[in-house]
Homo-oligomer: A and B are copies of this chain.
């Protein structure tokens, strides 16, 4: 029961504005709750995490947060001790503006790596900020737009669990690969869920959603997925809450893949019939990340041999070509390629080409050696990805 809509959540206020980090577009946002919230999150596994990740991990350790402060256009990564100071200064600025402890603020930054934040511009943004906060959907939308970098569209989703509301806001289009925590994604809810239950729940949810999505195999230094629960709506059915949170996270993950830098298509890939989860996961990642698979899907070129190649790259597992079945598409139009159709030369490449032309490409790989399954989402690789990334800082 999720909706692709932005919705206010009782007890949460938002701001999104320009503070002039690079140009005059929206580049700064805050989420402020009217009370401390139960909080849990997962962060990038990068060994080179950004300064906001280091400070954010400290602050969320208590299981309580009341606010988020974020800027785009500059990631505050690889900026040394001064970067840490700058991330703390962002938390202090918001805490003083709104009257809370700085340890209740989660910092985040996204954009170019290796440049110092223009911290004076950010500090100036806190003057009068308390008066700019608003608890309506329009303010939440400005917040969602302020965190965009190469995103083509803002990303939000909402849902209801009993009397409680859930809002998810995210950004992410490149430097995305499933072997990580996630990109920037925050969930706000007025459900009452204690932090010790939120912690394992957000990890499970990330593993079903953001960790199954890949744009380009590059893992960000800034990935963050955090949920804040202010408790105003009282307790909820926990299984139902996790279900809605999962659906919301999957919706945002698919939106990131579909919106991947330069992408024209969402790819949904299911690996079934694997002998282990490890084989299923490694095979899914090998195929979804293969540049030759991604480019042939972009060109709607029915070059199905590239799937064979990408399956073969998982050296540690044997797969029998006689048992392997590849299914393109779903429903009545689907085309199955197995040893018999290949032996008979009966592949109907024109039908395959038509299936690859749509905005969503569904592929199932049945490895024929067990009963384990895994699925991932990705996107095609186009000239536009190169264009966006060849001159990113210049």
Q: State the Cβ distance, A112 to closest chain B Cβ, in Å.
A: 6
List 19 additional A-B contacts (Cβ < 8 Å) besides A47-B318, A48-B309.
Answer: A46-B312, A47-B314, A48-B311, A48-B319, A78-B321, A78-B342, A113-B308, A175-B292, A175-B309, A295-B389, A296-B393, A298-B386, A299-B391, A299-B394, A301-B394, A302-B393, A353-B394, A381-B386, A382-B390
- Is A218's CB within 8 Å of the partner chain B? yes
* Residue of A45, A81, A221 contacting most chain B CB atoms (<10 Å): A221
Interface contact A174-B343, CB-CB below 8 Å: no
- Complex formed: what's the CA distance from A216 to B292 in Å? 8
CB contacts (< 8 Å) of A317 on chain B: these are 47
Interface contact B291-A218, CB-CB below 8 Å: yes
- Is A130's CB within 8 Å of the partner chain B? no
CB contacts (< 8 Å) of A319 on chain B: these are 47-48
Interface contact B218-A389, CB-CB below 8 Å: no
* Closest 6 A/B residue pairs (Cβ): A113-B305, A299-B390, A48-B312, A114-B305, A46-B312, A295-B389
Given A298-B386, A299-B390, A81:B343 Cβ within 8 A: yes
CB closest chain-B residue, reference A305: B113
Q: State the Cβ distance, A163 to closest chain B Cβ, in Å.
A: 41
CB contacts (< 8 Å) of A301 on chain B: these are 390-394
Interface range for A: 35 or more
- Complex formed: what's the CA distance from A302 to B390 in Å? 10
Interface contact B315-A390, CB-CB below 8 Å: no
Interface contact B313-A78, CB-CB below 8 Å: no
Interface contact B114-A218, CB-CB below 8 Å: no
CB contacts (< 8 Å) of A89 on chain B: these are none
Interface contact B312-A343, CB-CB below 8 Å: no
Interface contact A217-B390, CB-CB below 8 Å: no
Q: Could you show 13 A-B contacts with beta carbons less than 8 Å apart?
A: A46-B312, A46-B315, A47-B314, A77-B305, A78-B342, A81-B343, A113-B309, A216-B291, A217-B291, A298-B390, A383-B383, A383-B386, A386-B386
Interface contact A218-B77, CB-CB below 8 Å: no
- Is A310's CB within 8 Å of the partner chain B? yes
- Complex formed: what's the CA distance from A44 to B312 in Å? 10
Interface residue ranges, A against B (CB under 8 Å): 44-49, 75, 77-82, 112-116, 174-175, 177, 179, 216-221, 289-292, 295-296, 298-299, 301-306, 308-315, 317-319, 321-322, 339, 342-343, 345, 347, 353, 381-383, 385-387, 389-394
CB contacts (< 8 Å) of A49 on chain B: these are 312
CB contacts (< 8 Å) of A387 on chain B: these are 383
Q: State the Cβ distance, A90 to closest chain B Cβ, in Å.
A: 19
CB contacts (< 8 Å) of A289 on chain B: these are 217
- Complex formed: what's the CA distance from A36 to B289 in Å? 43
CB contacts (< 8 Å) of A174 on chain B: these are 292
Among B217, B291, B309, which residue has its beta carbon within 8 angstroms of that of A385?
B291
Q: State the Cβ distance, A87 to closest chain B Cβ, in Å.
A: 15
Q: State the Cβ distance, A293 to closest chain B Cβ, in Å.
A: 8
* Residue of A112, A217, A347 contacting most chain B CB atoms (<10 Å): A217
CB contacts (< 8 Å) of A303 on chain B: these are 112-114, 392-393
CB closest chain-B residue, reference A45: B315
CB contacts (< 8 Å) of A321 on chain B: these are 48, 78, 80
Among B114, B308, B394, which residue has its beta carbon within 8 angstroms of that of A77?
B308
CB contacts (< 8 Å) of A302 on chain B: these are 393-394
Q: State the Cβ distance, A104 to closest chain B Cβ, in Å.
A: 27
